[in-house]
């Protein structure tokens, strides 16, 4: 495969996204974000095996959609890179993918009968429904990780056409049309989980008035908000006064 | 309209209030604070479309009470500026308005039957009652935002003569007689919500002994406390040792 | 009254205690700590009306036990200084007093039937029992504050011979034999409240195995721990690497 | 006993581990970590009586397995050093031990009937079961501390062949095959407790789908993750950009 170099601005945005996800507590030492290559749609870009908060431009590897490394060969990679490759195969509309173990999301994927639903306009995208991936159905008894293309395909099938999928006993995966959108979705999916947990405790019989499907769809429209949040998060990383 | 320049000290106070609200976790990338113009009571001052933590004096726009910009024309503004304009019209006593999505407040506006009530003297002003605005009544299925003068009027009517209104599936709005008072109210409304959530969990059958209306009214009197809190919050922003 | 100057090291310790209480989230802009004068046991030392985090040595006022200022006259003082004066009168064993609105303590003073009890050895001193002060019994409908000698006396009577008293709809007051001990007690009373709230939620029917009176008494013995905690807290304020 | 000097790199790792445990909120002013001496397996290394966040290489004492100091004699030591010595005696496979009062763990050791179980792959090691040590069985009414070899032996017996033991009304102790592994276990044991508490609140009738024993065992295999987390935690202490 002849390789075209990605736009350096895309690499820069991906590095920044890694640091923002760490700063916003979406990832700790674990989790990762990828972006589809801007010039070769059948490849994607993601860091080598590193904590997201420590990623630099020199650490960005190019992978094909089978998640074979086309650069940085022989280095350790994230064992769960198949999450990314298989979603890019199944979802041509997806440009960026986040996988994380964000604290507020684990209980929603693990408590029996729990269902993550949109509390407010910031997370209207959740109104489409949030599936929960049970790895036992696809892989039986595992170490919970998406270590193979088969498990990646099963996860992508569970995600279906939605923006977010929870993973039982593991974490969550989000997708978006851009790095900024998927980071925004990751932050506000986690924030929504915090809010929803408290709302169930407060409501009579645990009842909560969620956004309807229509409210959620309408609230998901505003790209300007994604840029507004990004400008703040970038500012925090860059250390502006 | 002939425009008089606002007192530079008022602008400075408004900029500082933006940074304090961010630092105190009342706002994140979203939310805004305005103040009535000190020389033209039929106009108000508020930042252009920016995260509050990034606002500077150069970003403060003058709006008329229909929320048309009288300065900084052609720039993007907060789409929800009608919250501010319509409240200033309906409430001549109000000098400053905060709109926010503070984390502890969303569950109180969204959980069925929840009611925010004063836990202690710091939030005695809540004893007047905290209405919840249901946008469906005024606007049907929306994106939850106060994007029109009509929705702003409906919100102002729901706020009525109270200091705080919660907004279902969205956030909250506070008003005050000064920038300092409304910032104080925003901080302690959110703090009260945290305390109340825990108290319901601890009390027998969830019961809590709130401040009575009289206790709340008496506890709301002390302007000196507002200045004491402000002096600390200012100190934190200014980076004093 | 002829005044002897307090030991400068005592003033320094009191100033440091103010900053530690702020850093440890026991106080915010509100709350205060006092110490009995080392040379005149019928007077005490406490800051003038300032947020604790901003107190310097120059701000320390000497008060008599009726809470009249003997220095810094004509300046604003804490309106609740009677908490301190009346406790020093009633409790000759007490050398230092903290009053605060620490977040975890408000629900325990306000939720019906709640009782703060010792979760672990760090807060064994709570095994003596933690009374709750209901200001309505002494003062009827008030602004909740201890603004008079009479209310101070009533609070001291409720505290009795215990180390901590909760105040309904207001906060808490702790006493100790030294500045360091009362700061330690304030920090671990609040920490205990956090732990206990979670334990009730986890236990079958909310049941928790607290320390017995004997365990609590034995665990309260170790002065060396107070100095160990103080050394860390001092280090954090002094900015050591 | 002739003493061989430990590898300076081991000392350095132990000092760093102290700071990481503090930074990760596993310990506050209290708690400690030890490591078995690399050249004399019947001795271990641990700081003198200091808050973990303040430990330097010069503070590392050598103890025999009866927890007598072989260096730094006459200085104050942790009174609970018998936790370490007795576990090293009983468990030849153990190379490093952490004792802590981490906030999320106290409720699990104290609430009646509570049981800490693995929520996700990061804490798969909990699937082996987490015993709770009741000091009353071994020592009757105490100050809760492991102040004697006898209490240390009883704790080691309760730990048995497991990686973690909770201590009622006190804290927790973790063991591992290396400093890095035990630090990793301490961090993710506490994280698991936070997640589990929330999951019980969300699940129908409090039910949660934990990792099975087999899932836990498989998830506990991956040493590469321990190094990945360590690299981030080290970076945070070293202040790299």
Helix (H) or strand (E) holding D47: strand D43-47
Q: Does D227 touch chain A (CB under 8 A)?
A: no
Q: Which of A47-56, B41-50, C153-162, C216-225 has the lowest mean pLDDT?
A: C216-225
Kindly determine whether residue D101 and residue C124, on different chains, have CB atoms separated by under 8 Å: no
Distance CA D185, CA D190 (A): 8
Distance CA A70, CA B165 (A): 56
Report the residue count for chain D.
241
- What's residue B221's pLDDT? 66
Digit-coded pLDDT (tens) for B39-91: 999 999 999 999 999 999 999 999 999 999 999 999 999 999 999 999 999 99
Q: Are D95 and D37 in contact (CB under 8 A)?
A: no
Q: pLDDT tier at D241 (50, 70, 90 boundaries)?
A: very low
Distance from CA of D224 to the nearest CA of A (A): 10
> Percent of chain D at pLDDT above 70?
97
Helix (H) or strand (E) holding C171: strand C171-176
Which among C204, C209, C215 has the least Cβ separation from residue D110?
C209
Q: pLDDT tier at D141 (50, 70, 90 boundaries)?
A: very high
Kindly determine whether residue D107 and residue C195, on different chains, have CB atoms separated by under 8 Å: yes
Digit-coded pLDDT (tens) for B107-165: 999 999 999 999 999 999 999 999 999 999 999 999 999 999 999 999 999 999 999 99
Kindly determine whether residue A209 and residue B141, on different chains, have CB atoms separated by under 8 Å: no
Structure tokens at B220: 């709301």
> Percent of chain A at pLDDT above 70?
97
Average pLDDT, chain C: 96
Helix (H) or strand (E) holding B166: strand B164-167
- What's residue C2's pLDDT? 59
Q: Are C188 and C176 in contact (CB under 8 A)?
A: no
User: Which of the 8 DSSP states describes residue A98?
Assistant: E
User: Which of the 8 DSSP states describes residue A147?
Assistant: -
Checking if the pLDDT of B3 tops 80, the result is no
- What's residue B128's pLDDT? 94
Distance from CA of C38 to the nearest CA of D (A): 28
Residue A110 sits at the vertex; the CA angle it makes with A106 and A116, to the nearest 5 degrees, is: 70
Residues of D in contact with C222 (CB under 8 A): 143
Residue C44 sits at the vertex; the CA angle it makes with C38 and C45, to the nearest 5 degrees, is: 90
Checking if the pLDDT of D123 tops 90, the result is yes
Residue D120 sits at the vertex; the CA angle it makes with D114 and D124, to the nearest 5 degrees, is: 80
Closest CA to D232 of A91, A89, B197, A54: A54
Q: pLDDT tier at D221 (50, 70, 90 boundaries)?
A: low
Kindly determine whether residue A229 and residue B171, on different chains, have CB atoms separated by under 8 Å: no
Q: Does A201 touch chain B (CB under 8 A)?
A: yes
CB pairs below 8 Å between C and D: how many? 115
Kindly determine whether residue C51 and residue B229, on different chains, have CB atoms separated by under 8 Å: yes
Q: What is the dihedral of CA B72, B73, B77, B81, to 10 degrees?
A: 100
Q: How many CB atoms lie within 10 A of CB C5?
A: 11
Phi/psi for A22 (5° steps) reads -70, -50
Q: Are C64 and C43 in contact (CB under 8 A)?
A: yes
* C209 counts as catalytic: no
- What is the distance of C-alpha B13 from the center of its chain? 15
Distance CA D66, CA C131 (A): 44
Checking if the pLDDT of C221 tops 70, the result is no
Kindly determine whether residue D51 and residue C231, on different chains, have CB atoms separated by under 8 Å: yes
Q: pLDDT tier at B177 (50, 70, 90 boundaries)?
A: very high
Kindly determine whether residue C231 and residue D30, on different chains, have CB atoms separated by under 8 Å: no
Mean pLDDT (whole number) for A227-241: 89
- What's residue D4's pLDDT? 87
Phi/psi for B133 (5° steps) reads -90, 125
Kindly determine whether residue A111 and residue D199, on different chains, have CB atoms separated by under 8 Å: yes
Q: How many CA atoms lie within 13 A of D241 on its CB side?
A: 4
Distance CA D188, CA A30 (A): 12
Digit-coded pLDDT (tens) for C79-116: 999 999 999 999 999 999 999 999 999 999 999 999 99
Which among A53, A104, A142 has the least Cβ separation from residue D215?
A142
Residues of B in contact with C50 (CB under 8 A): 228, 231
Q: pLDDT tier at B239 (50, 70, 90 boundaries)?
A: confident
Q: Does A51 touch chain D (CB under 8 A)?
A: yes
Residues of B in contact with C110 (CB under 8 A): 119-120, 195, 199, 203, 208-210
Distance CA C26, CA C191 (A): 10
Distance from CA of C211 to the nearest CA of B (A): 19
Of A80, A134, A191, A209, the catalytic one is A80
Q: How many CB atoms lie within 10 A of CB A201?
A: 20
Digit-coded pLDDT (tens) for A149-183: 999 999 999 999 999 999 999 999 999 999 999 99
- Nearest residue in chain A measured CA to CA from B196: A202
Q: What is the dihedral of CA D86, D91, D92, D97, to 10 degrees?
A: -70
Checking if the pLDDT of B241 tops 50, the result is no
Q: Does A227 touch chain B (CB under 8 A)?
A: no
Mean pLDDT (whole number) for C184-208: 96
- What's residue C4's pLDDT? 87
Distance CA A216, CA A130 (A): 13
Q: pLDDT tier at D2 (50, 70, 90 boundaries)?
A: low
Please spell the DSSP secondary structure of D170-202, one letter per residue: TEEEEEESSHHHHHHHHHHHHHHHHHHHHHHHH
Distance CA C198, CA D109 (A): 11
Kindly determine whether residue A214 and residue B141, on different chains, have CB atoms separated by under 8 Å: yes
Residues of A in contact with B114 (CB under 8 A): 199, 202-203
Phi/psi for A159 (5° steps) reads -60, -40
- Nearest residue in chain D measured CA to CA from A30: D229
Distance from CA of A238 to the nearest CA of B (A): 13
Distance CA C30, CA C144 (A): 14
Closest CA to B163 of B147, B183, B145: B183
Kindly determine whether residue C229 and residue D51, on different chains, have CB atoms separated by under 8 Å: yes
Checking if the pLDDT of C240 tops 70, the result is no
By the 10 Å C-beta count (0-12 exposed, 13-18 middle, 19+ buried), C51 is classed as buried
- What's residue B90's pLDDT? 98
Mean pLDDT (whole number) for C39-48: 97
Q: How many CA atoms lie within 13 A of D210 on its CB side?
A: 23
Helix (H) or strand (E) holding B43: strand B43-47
Checking if the pLDDT of A240 tops 60, the result is no
Checking if the pLDDT of B1 tops 60, the result is no
Helix (H) or strand (E) holding D97: strand D96-100
Q: Are B151 and B137 in contact (CB under 8 A)?
A: no
Mean pLDDT (whole number) for A16-26: 98
- Nearest residue in chain C measured CA to CA from D237: C241
Distance from CA of B224 to the nearest CA of A (A): 30
> Percent of chain C at pLDDT above 70?
97
Q: Which one of B55, B83, B110 makes the best mutation probe of the A interface by having the most chain A beta carbons within 10 Å?
A: B110
Distance CA B235, CA B23 (A): 12
Q: Which residues contact A125 (CB under 8 A, 6 or more apart)?
A: A118, A163, A164, A185, A216, A220
Residues of B in contact with C197 (CB under 8 A): 198, 201-202
Q: pLDDT tier at B222 (50, 70, 90 boundaries)?
A: low
Which among D113, D145, D171 has the least Cβ separation from residue C203?
D113
pTM comes to 0.97
- Nearest residue in chain D measured CA to CA from C235: D54
User: Which of the 8 DSSP states describes residue C103?
Assistant: T
Distance CA C153, CA C82 (A): 8
Q: Does D218 touch chain A (CB under 8 A)?
A: yes
Given the cut 0.90, state whether the ipTM is greater than it: yes
Of D13, D80, D86, D191, the catalytic one is D80
Checking if the pLDDT of A74 tops 80, the result is yes
Residue D177 sits at the vertex; the CA angle it makes with D176 and D179, to the nearest 5 degrees, is: 75
Residues of C in contact with D104 (CB under 8 A): 198
Mean pLDDT (whole number) for D89-112: 98
Q: How many CB atoms lie within 10 A of CB D160?
A: 12
Q: Between C3 and C50, name the one with better pLDDT.
A: C50
- List the chains bordering chain C where 3 or more Cβ pairs fall under 8 Å: B, D
Q: Are C65 and C34 in contact (CB under 8 A)?
A: no
Classified as helix, coil or strand, C81 is coil
Please spell the DSSP secondary structure of B58-105, one letter per residue: GGEEEEETT--BSSSTTS---TTTHHHHHHHHH-TT--EEEEE--TTH
Structure tokens at C47: 């800051």
Q: Which one of B20, B24, B120 makes the best mutation probe of the C interface by having the most chain C beta carbons within 10 Å?
A: B120
Q: Does B198 touch chain C (CB under 8 A)?
A: yes
Distance from CA of A225 to the nearest CA of B (A): 8
Core vs surface per residue C175-207: b (16+ CB within 10 A) or e: bbebbbbbbbbbbbbbbbbbbbbbbbbbbeeee
Beta bridge partners of B45: B35, B62
Distance CA C148, CA B48 (A): 48
- What's residue C241's pLDDT? 43
Closest CA to B110 of B168, B159, B164, B165: B168
By the 10 Å C-beta count (0-12 exposed, 13-18 middle, 19+ buried), C81 is classed as buried
Q: Which one of D48, D142, D169, D239 makes the best mutation probe of the C interface by having the most chain C beta carbons within 10 Å?
A: D169
Closest CA to D122 of A103, A193, A87: A103
Phi/psi for B33 (5° steps) reads -130, 140
- What's residue C222's pLDDT? 64
Q: Does A140 touch chain D (CB under 8 A)?
A: no
Q: Does C111 touch chain B (CB under 8 A)?
A: yes
- What's residue D239's pLDDT? 82
- Nearest residue in chain C measured CA to CA from D77: C224
Q: Are strands D164-167 and D132-133 parallel, antiparallel or unpaired?
A: parallel
Q: Are C146 and C138 in contact (CB under 8 A)?
A: no
Place of tokens 């500077």: B56
Structure tokens at B209: 């002994």
Beta bridge partners of B140: none
Residues of B in contact with C48 (CB under 8 A): none
Residues of C in contact with D143 (CB under 8 A): 121, 124, 215, 218-219, 221-222
| Helical pair D179-202 and C179-202, crossing angle rounded to 10 deg | 60
By the 10 Å C-beta count (0-12 exposed, 13-18 middle, 19+ buried), B102 is classed as buried
Distance from CA of B236 to the nearest CA of C (A): 10
């Amino acid at each position: 495969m002849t390789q075209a170099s990605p736009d350096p601005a895309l690499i820069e945005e991906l590095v920044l996204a890694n640091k923002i996800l760490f700063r916003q507590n979406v990832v700790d030492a674990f989790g990762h974000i990828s972006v589809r290559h801007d010039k070769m749609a059948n490849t994607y870009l993601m860091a080598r095996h590193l904590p997201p908060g420590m990623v630099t431009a020199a650490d960005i590897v190019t992978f094909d959609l089978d998640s074979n490394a086309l650069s940085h060969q022989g280095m350790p990679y994230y064992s769960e890179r198949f999450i990314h490759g298989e979603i890019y195969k199944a979802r041509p509309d997806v440009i960026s993918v986040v996988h994380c173990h964000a604290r507020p999301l684990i209980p929603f994927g693990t408590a029996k009968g729990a269902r993550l639903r949109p509390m407010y306009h910031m997370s209207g995208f959740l109104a489409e429904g949030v599936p929960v991936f049970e790895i036992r159905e696809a892989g039986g008894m595992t170490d919970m990780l998406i270590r193979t293309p088969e498990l990646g395909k099963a996860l992508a099938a569970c995600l279906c056409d939605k923006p977010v999928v929870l993973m039982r006993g593991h974490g969550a995966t989000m997708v978006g049309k851009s790095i900024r959108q998927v980071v925004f979705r990751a932050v506000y999916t986690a924030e929504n989980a915090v809010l929803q947990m408290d709302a169930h405790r407060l409501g009579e019989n645990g009842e909560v008035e969620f956004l309807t499907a229509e409210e959620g769809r309408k609230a998901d429209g505003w790209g300007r908000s994604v840029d507004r949040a990004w400008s703040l998060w970038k500012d925090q990383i860059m250390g502006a006064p």
